[in-house]
């Protein structure tokens, strides 16, 4: 395995952060990986600036990013690093599943996020979806991400003028350099969800605003829509027919008495 540096940015020292760092140490020991990994942390308020500063001094060939309120599965690092055996792979990411301690409102938000007709291709971020495959940035997220350091430096690091969606702009730039981006559904971490309704809506608006800025400045942002395959169209038509039949029957039953 290539050497790696794990980077965690946090606002304050909380129980979530302790659980995060403990899960990292456990994942580093999975299948006899080198336990003497490099862990770099920062509490600088600007996440992009903090990450860029740590990446400059990181010794690892691979930069691994994990949110401070996320917990890694035991096989997380093993699965996240595996695709880098291909020298053309520049970015690898996985999914972040909801924590078991989630509230009912978090569960409802999670169901929406993992539903393809709500988040399109980005639904892969919130569930174990498919197999290891080459993807674009819409299926990857910075809370569970690994980037080859030389690709990171060539692309200029996280842009400071595209927050949120700074990782999406960075990944587009890395892909433009000729590197592959890979999604591994088995590279799993567990993450908090914003509860319905207001916190969830606020977060979605925040990220949609970032997407809009990406589009405005020609940095991508619209390729997360799925290609209209026959399977997708059939599913969409079936869903419409399902709800049409249900609502029609419901109304007819109420009228008929």
What are the residue boundaries of the structural domains of the chain, listed by start?
A: 4-226, 230-257
> What confidence category does residue 120 fall into, taking pLDDT thresholds of 50, 70 and 90?
confident
- Please give, one letter per residue, the 3-state secondary structure of the chain: CCCEEEEEECCCCCHHHHHHHHHHHHHHCHHHCCCCCEEEEECCCCHHHHHHHHHHHCCCCEEEEECCCCEECCCHHHHHHHHHHCCCEEEEEEEEEECCCCCHHHHHHHHHHCCHHHHHHHHHHHCCCCCCEECCHHHCCCCEEEEEHHHHHHCCCCCCCCCCCHHHHHHHHHHHCCCEEEEEEEEEEEECCCCCCHHHHHHHHHHHHHHHHHHHCCCCCCCCCCCCCHHHHHHHHHHHHHHHHHHHHHHHHHHHC
Residue 104's pLDDT is what? 95
- Judged by average pLDDT, the poorest of 1-10, 124-133, 151-160 is 1-10
Q: What is the pLDDT of residues 27-39, one digit of tens each?
A: 998 866 555 689 9
Residue 187 has pLDDT above 70, yes or no: yes
Q: Does domain 4-226 have CATH number 3.90.550.10?
A: yes
- Judged by average pLDDT, the poorest of 17-26, 81-90, 221-230 is 221-230
Residue 121 has pLDDT above 70, yes or no: yes
Q: Which of 189-198, 213-222, 236-245 has the highest mean pLDDT?
A: 189-198
> What confidence category does residue 190 fall into, taking pLDDT thresholds of 50, 70 and 90?
very high
Residue 88 has pLDDT above 90, yes or no: yes
Residue 228 has pLDDT above 70, yes or no: no
Span 227-246, average pLDDT: 76
- Judged by average pLDDT, the poorest of 64-68, 211-215, 252-256 is 252-256
> What confidence category does residue 233 fall into, taking pLDDT thresholds of 50, 70 and 90?
confident
Residue 225 has pLDDT above 80, yes or no: no
Residue 223 has pLDDT above 70, yes or no: no
Mean predicted lDDT score pLDDT of the chain: 91
Span 231-251, average pLDDT: 81
Q: What is the pLDDT of residues 22-72, one digit of tens each?
A: 999 999 988 665 556 899 999 999 999 999 999 999 999 999 999 999 999
Residue 32's pLDDT is what? 60
Span 203-208, average pLDDT: 91
């Amino acid at each position: 395995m290539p050497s790696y540096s794990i980077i965690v940015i946090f606002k304050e020292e909380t129980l979530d952060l302790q659980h995060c760092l403990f899960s990292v140490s456990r994942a580093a020991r999975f299948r006899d990986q080198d336990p003497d990994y490099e862990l770099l942390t920062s509490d600088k308020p600007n996440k992009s600036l903090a990450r860029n500063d740590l990446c400059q001094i990181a010794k690892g060939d691979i930069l691994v990013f994990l949110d401070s309120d996320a917990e890694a599965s035991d096989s997380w690092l093993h699965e996240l690093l595996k695709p880098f055996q291909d020298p053309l792979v520049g970015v690898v990411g996985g999914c972040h599943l909801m924590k078991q301690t989630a509230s009912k409102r978090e569960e409802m938000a999670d169901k929406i996020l993992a539903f393809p007709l709500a988040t399109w291709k980005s639904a892969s971020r919130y569930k174990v979806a498919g197999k290891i495959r080459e993807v674009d940035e819409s299926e990857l997220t910075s809370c569970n991400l690994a980037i080859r350091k030389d690709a990171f430096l060539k692309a200029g690091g996280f842009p400071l003028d595209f927050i949120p969606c700074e990782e999406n702009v960075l990944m587009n730039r890395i892909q433009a350099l000729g590197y592959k981006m890979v999604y591994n559904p088995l590279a799993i971490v567990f993450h908090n969800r914003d509860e319905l309704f207001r916190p969830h809506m606020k977060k979605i608006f925040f990220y949609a605003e970032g997407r809009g800025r990406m589009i405005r400045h020609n940095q991508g942002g619209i390729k997360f829509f799925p290609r209209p395959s026959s399977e997708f169209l059939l599913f969409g038509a079936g869903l419409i027919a399902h709800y049409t039949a249900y609502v029609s029957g419901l109304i007819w039953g109420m009228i008929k008495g």
